[in-house]
Amino acid sequence: MLKIEDTEDGIRCIGLNRPDKRNAIGVEMTLALEDVLLKTKTDSTVKAIVFHGLGGHFCAGMDMKDFFDSSTRPPDVLLRARAATEHWRIQLLRQMPQKIFTAIEGYCLGGGLPIVAASTAVVAQREAKLGLPEINFGFVAGGQILKAVGEVMSPRGLAYATLTGRPFNAEQAQRWGLVTQVVESDPFEQALILARASL
């Protein structure tokens, strides 16, 4: 679910690795995210973190099949996964002693945005599509996601994204404060450069 690689100079690269689901966060991935952040938090050899997605997308949000109305997961598994999700997105991301950098290509939606919001710098490929489409699914985006995103995004951008559910591009995301740099090339390479510069 995650591809974790450490560079020699102390950068931990965490790749969301579920390309057939556009890296949607399912039960296994959310448990893995909690686990890697818990371990990284106390690992003094890790100086910076770079999040990225494998397979052409960063993250399509939370996996509808796993977490919502039609979930076939056993209740105890679902309960544990939900607790893990709130743990990493409400607490761990905000407590990490390392600086976080994020590379976005393809989709970056809903449940993937707290990672973006917790980042020191976000590099997005020009064709990337960001968004908060929850309203199109007939529900309100979680307060915990909106609070995280609202800490970096302009209020009017946040209102537009949540009320319309429309995706918006990398340039717009940069204007609204969610993205630091828009690139034509591989955003992961550029995020690594920024992470190295921060060491």
Partner 1 sequence: MGASPYAPVDLVDGVLTIRLPAAQASIASELTTSLHVNAMNNLMALLSFAQADENVNVIVLRDEGEQFGASLGSAADTDPEVNHQFVQGLRDLPQPIVAMVHGQIHDQALAVLQAFDIVLATGQDDWATLSFPASELEEQTYKLARELASKDPLILRFTKKTVQQVASIAWEDILSFTTVQQAEIKSLQAGCPSPRALAIESFLAGKSKPGAGA
- Binding flag, residue 193, partner 1 (CB under 8 A): no
User: CB of residue 174 vs partner 1: minimum separation in angstroms?
Assistant: 14
Contacts of 185 (CB under 8 A, 6+ apart): 125
User: CB of residue 33 vs partner 1: minimum separation in angstroms?
Assistant: 17
- Binding flag, residue 96, partner 1 (CB under 8 A): no
- Binding flag, residue 86, partner 1 (CB under 8 A): yes
How many chain residues touch partner 1 (CB under 8 A)?
43
- Binding flag, residue 38, partner 1 (CB under 8 A): no
CA-to-CA dists, residue 58 to 5, 17, 130, angstroms: 17, 9, 10
Comparing CB distances to partner 1, the nearer of 136 and 185 is 136
Contacts of 111 (CB under 8 A, 6+ apart): 25, 59, 61, 62, 85, 89, 145
The pair phi, psi for residue 60, each rounded to 5°, is -90, 15
The CA distance from 191 to 59, in Å, is: 16
**How far is Cα of residue 130 from the mean position of the Cα atoms in its chain?**
11
Q: Report the site for partner 1 in 131-170 (rule: CB under 8 A).
A: 131, 133-144, 146-147, 150-151, 155-160, 162-167
Element (H, E) at 53: strand 48-53
User: CB of residue 126 vs partner 1: minimum separation in angstroms?
Assistant: 17
Residue numbers of the site for partner 1 (CB under 8 A)? 60-61, 64-65, 68-70, 86, 90, 94, 107, 109-110, 129, 131, 133-144, 146-147, 150-151, 155-160, 162-167
